[in-house]
Amino acid sequence: MANPLTQQEVDARALVDAGAVFTVLPRQIAERLGLKALGRKSIKTARGHAELDESLAAVEIQGRRGATPVLISQELDEVLIGVITLEALGLAVDPATNRLVETHILLL
C-alpha cells in the first residue's frame, strides 16, 4: 500500500474478499501512509450500518500496481481487498483454486 501523493509505503498482508466492493484499510495503516479523508461513505456490513472515511491509495498485488479508492476502518486490524481494486488491477479470484489470476479489464 502507498500514498499516491507522497509515495510513503507500508507492506501489509491482506485478505481478498470477492464479496466486498471496496478495499478497507485499518486506520493505523492509513495514518502511517498519511492518507487524508476525501469524504465519507455510508456502508452496510454484517454488523450493520457504519460511516467510514474514504481516501485513495496505490496498491500493488502480484506485481500489478494501480490507484484505488479505499475506506478507512477503526474496527479492522488487517487490509481487506475488494472487487474494485481487483478489477482495476486486472485480477480475479479463481473459485476452483481460491488464488488470484489475471483477467481482462472490461470497459463496459
Number of alpha carbons in the 13 Å side-chain half-sphere of residue 80: 19
Q: What domains can be seen in the chain, in order of their start residue?
A: 14-102 (2.40.70.10)
What is the pTM assigned to this prediction?
Answer: 0.91
Model confidence over 77-106: pLDDT tens digits?
Answer: 999 999 999 999 999 999 999 999 999 887
Cα angle at 11 between 50 and 91, to 5 degrees?
A: 75
If pLDDT is split at 50, 70 and 90, which confidence band does 53 have? very high
CA distance linking residue 82 with residue 58, whole number of Å: 14
Residue entry with cell 509515495: 7
